[in-house]
Amino acid sequence: MKSSSVTRRIIETLAEQHPNADTELHYSTPFELLVATILSAQSTDARVNIVTPALFTRYPDAASLAKARQASLEKQIVSTGFFRQKSKALIGMAKAIVAEHGGEVPADMELLTKLPGVGRKTANVVLGHALGVPGLPVDRHVLRVSNRIGIAESDDPIKVEAHLCAMLPKELWTLASDVQILHGRRICRPKPLCDRCSVAADCNYYALSGGSEDPPRRPSQTNRRVKKNDARRVRTPRQ
């Protein structure tokens, strides 16, 4: 894998290719971002952004969402998918925030991940973007981009997060996630556009494949099985 200095250079180069990288979810408060991130599981940011304006008007804070009727909430979020699980998680999350945190989203990883529907990735999104606490969310794009380039080597989001955090200063953690997510959506897709990549010269995938769709794999990866927590197999909104 790459050294700390090379990893930092790669992230900074990606930041130049994707200026002003940020979450693409629309929000104005930490609570709104928490709701939007839970809704984004197995959906798209664009779809969530269509749903949330009316949702936030009706439920602007944890206190109002905690009183929501599940059937009514399901109707508002049905287009995001898994609407029954998500509505149950959202109401449970809101009730817990009201009962345990005075209606405010806690700025703490451990406390956030105790909330219904909130896993480590969701917590990192909210911490890094809305609460000013360094966090490095790892989704399927970050997994793909980091492993292809060679700044990480694992299918486990927690291991990739820990490694990237160890390689980068805290002030780059959230940016590192944002630029890799955008790079994964725009350039380093499942079928990558390597000719448009600003870090191709540092990329292990490109060195092995020259940008072809199916590069040679290292022996250790050839028989690797899909993990149970692979994003394609997730059946609940918890992230």
Give the CATH number for residue 169.
Answer: 1.10.1670.10
Answer yes or no: is pLDDT of 108 > 60: yes
Residue 231 lies in a domain: no
Residue 235 lies in a domain: no
Residue 237 lies in a domain: no
**pLDDT given at position 90:** 98
**pLDDT given at position 65:** 98
Q: How far apart are the first and last CA of the chain?
A: 27
Q: Could you count the other beta carbons within 10 Å of the beta carbon of residue 16?
A: 9
Instruction: Characterize 128-157 residue by residue with b for buried, 16 or more Cβ atoms within 10 angstroms of its Cβ, and e for exposed.
Output: bbbbebbbbbbbebbbbbbbbbbbbbbbeb
**pLDDT given at position 232:** 34
Q: Answer yes or no: do 142 and 126 share one domain.
A: no
Q: Answer yes or no: do 164 and 116 share one domain.
A: no
Q: To which residue do tokens 């989704």 refer? A: 139
Residue 228 lies in a domain: no
11 vs 167: CA distance, rounded Å: 11
Which of 214, 183, 182 minimizes the C-alpha distance to 198? Answer: 183
Q: Is 166 exposed, middle or buried (0-12, 13-18, 19+ CB in 10 A)?
A: exposed
Q: Answer yes or no: do 77 and 93 share one domain.
A: yes
Q: Answer yes or no: do 98 and 81 share one domain.
A: yes
* Domain extent at residue 155: 4-20+137-215
When the pLDDT of each residue in the chain is averaged and rounded to a whole number, the result is 91
Answer yes or no: is pLDDT of 160 > 70: yes
Residue 26: band (very low, low, confident or very high) from pLDDT cuts 50, 70, 90: very high
Q: Answer yes or no: do 63 and 116 share one domain.
A: yes
108: left (phi over 0), alpha (psi -120 to 50) or beta: beta
Residue 223 lies in a domain: no
Report, as residue numbers or ranges, the catalytic residues.
Answer: 121, 139
- Give residue-wise pLDDT tens across range 190-236: 999 999 999 999 999 999 997 665 544 444 443 444 333 333 333 44
CATH code for the domain in which residue 61 is found: 1.10.340.30
**pLDDT given at position 235:** 45
